[in-house]
Amino acid sequence: MRLWTLHPRYLDAKGLVAAWREALLAQKVLLGATSGYKYHPQLIRFRLQHQPIQAIATFLTFLEAEAKLRGYHFDSSKIASERFSGQIEETSGQLQYEWLHLKQKLQLRSPEKYEQYKDVTIVEPNPLFTIVPGEIRDWEKV
């Protein structure tokens, strides 16, 4: 499971679909609707919010909006109805780590997308996140 800190625009088609499916699974976990993945590290920053379900629902809305821009249809009825009113703090180190991780994936499976973004050094986060100075998170599997 990967719940990307970076903006969904950077994801290739496979990455966007995978992010959608994984975020839907995360939503199920946070709703208590599944027994698996309860302690997955990617869920920590959502669980720490005062409204974790609303936070993941908001995350899903940004993925759905990106899909719509590309002409894909993600079923928005699967997203919990309430939205998160704030932002989640994430570190610049975490964002940078994920960017380098994604660029490696793009180089292998989506060379066109890689070429489009290979020279980007300052990556935009998903609008749910606000970036603060800091290292890669302890929960990240490096």
Report the sign of the C-alpha dihedral through residues 20, 32, 58, 127, in that order.
negative
Residue 87: inside a domain: yes
Residue 31: inside a domain: yes
Residue 42: inside a domain: yes
CA distances, 52 to each of 16, 55, 78, 111, 134 (Å): 21, 5, 16, 35, 22
What percent of the chain is predicted at pLDDT more than 70? 100
> Each residue of 14-24: pLDDT tens digit?
999 999 999 99
In angstroms, rounded to a whole number, what is the distance separating the alpha carbons of residues 24 and 12? 18
Residue 68: inside a domain: yes
Model pTM score: 0.94
Range(s) of the domain holding residue 116: 8-132
> Each residue of 61-115: pLDDT tens digit?
999 999 999 999 999 999 999 888 899 999 999 999 999 999 999 999 999 999 9
Entry field: residues in the chain: 142
Residue 139: inside a domain: no
